[in-house]
Amino acid sequence: MGMKSSFLLILFIVPAVLADLRVGFYKPACPDAESIIFQAVQKRFNKDKSVTAALLRMHFHDCFVRGCDASILIDSTTQNQAEKDSGPNQTVREYELIDEIKKALEAKCPSKVSCADIITVATRDAVVLAGGPNYTVPTGRRDGLVSRAGDVNLPGPQVDVSQAFQIFRAKGLTLEEMVILLGAHTVGVAHCSFFSERLQNDPSMDPKLAANLRNVCANPNTDPTVLLDQGTGFVVDNEFYKQLLLKRGVMRIDQELAIDSSTSGFVSRFARDGHGFKQRFGNAMVKMGSVGVLVGNDGEVRKNCRVLNPKNKPTVPSPPKKGKVSPPSKKAKNKKQKKPKSNGKKKKNTRAL
């Protein structure tokens, strides 16, 4: 589901939010919104099928930090390092595609469609183009006003099933939903540095796969990527689970899904039932995409996904202007100035550091 960094990026849905998000939210104000998004994604997909993995990863990384509010799209400034410049987000890509979509939407319907909804709908469209389920996406998200690199704290691919489930469960997801959403790795890639420790005598990896990956990762001066689904790496299907049953999972967390007794049953079931996996994957994506969203009057609808609208940009207070100081009157000069009495205590410094 993405390149360098972690892949476990899921949050839970608050039922009240569903009342604010709704299917067809933009029909009255921008009826062509979803069509415009799809056309741009389709054009990009026809040139590079890895766009599906890229958008899935962007969507997950956005939702996991502050909810699905497009805070991952905001550029850093001299006063603030934004989420996109944090370590885990260094290789998130397709920002330019989001820019292209936003530009087209602003030309058609100014200040109507949020960047958060663009990410969510574009990800669904990329999944569909890659053979995945055509799940219905409720819209109406607003864009966040905060993006800080320090807020990004994403789990890495070396975690085991128990550690991963603690993260998912804390976000309201079930164990089954965790296995389903990690199934997005069916179109993912990973850098060699994320699994290189598994290439030397790991009994849980198919020896032929290990030998092949050692050749790919042989040059210590580079860190190439490999497909996480060694069968159909650009198709959203259940082949990922079939590969796990053959010990052909690339990353540790993926292969452990088939080994751990708490998750192995789900892996076996989805390996057998491709239709069932796709249906559940769509449901899980809707659930994740509705978490932590801003609705109503919260947040804003950015005109440029990379920057806050002018009225909401954080400002640095200007120093007070130096005005003309009137000279003291003669009366004031002649008046004795009373010195304040000291209580012998030092004045407490209340300024923030």
Is 83 one of the annotated binding-site residues? yes
Q: Cβ distance 15 to 71 under 8 Å?
A: no
Is 206 one of the annotated binding-site residues? no
Is 186 one of the annotated binding-site residues? yes
Is 295 one of the annotated binding-site residues? no
Point out the catalytic residue in the list 59, 61, 191, 275. 61
Is 299 one of the annotated binding-site residues? no
Is 20 one of the annotated binding-site residues? no
Is 87 one of the annotated binding-site residues? no
Angular region, 185: left φ>0, alpha ψ -120 to 50, beta rest: alpha
Is 32 one of the annotated binding-site residues? no
Strand partners, 294: 142
Is 229 one of the annotated binding-site residues? yes
Q: Cβ distance 8 to 167 under 8 Å?
A: yes
Q: Is 61 a catalytic residue?
A: yes
How many C-beta neighbours within 10 Å does residue 106 have?
Answer: 15
- Dist. CA 240–CA 342, nearest whole Å: 77
Q: Which residues contact 103 (CB under 8 A, 6 or more apart)?
A: none
Is 191 one of the annotated binding-site residues? no
Q: Which residues contact 197 (CB under 8 A, 6 or more apart)?
A: none
Is 52 one of the annotated binding-site residues? no
Question: The tokens of 9 are what?
Answer: 């990026």
Closest CA to 97 of 56, 65, 51: 51
Question: Which are the catalytic amino acids?
Answer: 61
- Residues placed in the known binding site: 62, 65, 67, 69, 71, 83, 155, 185-186, 229, 232, 237
- Residues placed in the known binding site for heme b: 185
- Residues placed in the known binding site for Ca(2+): 62, 65, 67, 69, 71, 83, 186, 229, 232, 237
- Residues placed in the known binding site for substrate: 155
